[in-house]
Structure 1
């Protein structure tokens, strides 16, 4: 059985391991101060939020998200990071985390939840195509060197 809930101080090591796996998947290594900053933000619950998925009491998935204003609707929720332990994939953990974020956002009056993924992330996209609409947008970035 999958349970979804907030993260506690006791989850820090398991969360760091999952977050490192997420960043490794995308070919990056975060500086320790950025990891610490994210954890502090999640603990305060003001700007960024995190939920964890547990199976048999073990943290096996994480999701990070935030809300922001929109010019065309009520506030929207951006699902920034989603990662599940490779050993638990295919058991509904990712879907449960997405549904939990959608419920959180719905309860706060958000108009929608959205996220990005790489086109080559075919494993995740199989799930995403089942739970959300692909609106066909492309992402462009201007790196600012910070």
Structure 2
């Protein structure tokens, strides 16, 4: 049985994490015509690694980094029951390792990190039309909650 190991990311992982970021952007472009062409960066990954309210993790298999994710503690809207939640992002698994429990291992690790900080709610954004990603998150325990809509003017 393959043993997936999830650990905190370090600056030594930065090159592979930057390539994962480009993989995320390439995967999202077909779902979002508003993402501009050319090189785009969503994150300042190096800075995030050092932030105490963010956990950036990588998944490894046989010493190879095969996936990533982060949890960021955010203030919740004042009308919600929970004062803070953990926002998950930067969720990526190399295509050849998808369907092998990597995403679930990353989510479980980040959920444990959030729980250890008193967080009781985890949220993330996923494109509604990205059914494989939606299914993966549902398998990890997420439920559909809100659909954001847009209209260019």
TM category (shorter chain) comes to 0.7 to 0.9
Q: What residue is the counterpart of 1:116 in the other structure?
A: 125
Q: Give the TM-score normalised by the residue count of structure 1.
A: 0.84
**Unaligned runs of at least 5 residues, structure 2:** 30-34
Q: Deviations over 1:104-129 (max 9, x none)?
A: 10000012111111111111222222
Asked if 1 retains the 8 angstrom alpha-carbon contact of 2:55 and 2:113, the reply is no
**Cα distance in 1, alignment partners of residues 142 and 129 from structure 2:** 17
Asked if 1 retains the 8 angstrom alpha-carbon contact of 2:54 and 2:70, the reply is yes
1:48 is displaced (CA, Å) by 3.7
- The reply to whether residue 9 of structure 1 matches residue 20 of structure 2 is no
Of 45-54 and 4-13, the range deviating more from structure 2: 45-54
Q: Give the TM-score normalised by the residue count of structure 2.
A: 0.80
- Give the 3 Å change call, closer, same or farther, for CA 74–111 of structure 1 in structure 2: farther
1:47 is displaced (CA, Å) by 4.6
Q: What residue is the counterpart of 2:87 in the other structure?
A: 78
**Unaligned runs of at least 5 residues, structure 1:** none
Count residues with an aligned counterpart: 140
